[in-house]
Amino acid sequence: MPVAHALSATATRAPFEGLRSAAVRTESGWEVVISRPLRVKSEEGVSLGGRKSIPIAFAAWDGHNQERDGLKAVTLEWWQLRF
């Protein structure tokens, strides 16, 4: 699964096989579920074990809307992902 690391970064392949995702197009947009183990090796990302929440942000590109590079929809503030 591709993962971006910064607002201007391009997507790169996730560094481990434990990451799973599913996406479904609905009448109102997309529903996406991303899952992975809470505890991972340091080279596989941030370990989430023992945490109650972590800040998270999202960016989405809509090619049909001519979005590319830095032209995209982004969350303008951090959201708290709670476990």
- Write out pLDDT tens, residues 19-78: 888 999 999 988 989 898 988 888 888 888 889 999 988 888 788 888 887 788 888 899
Give the residue extent of every domain in the chain. 2-82
Question: What pLDDT does residue 80 have?
Answer: 93
Question: What pLDDT does residue 26 have?
Answer: 92
pLDDT higher than 80, residue 16: no
**pTM of the full predicted structure?**
0.58
Query: Measured in Å, how far apart are the chain's first and last C-alpha atoms?
Result: 21
For residue 73, give the amino acid letter: A
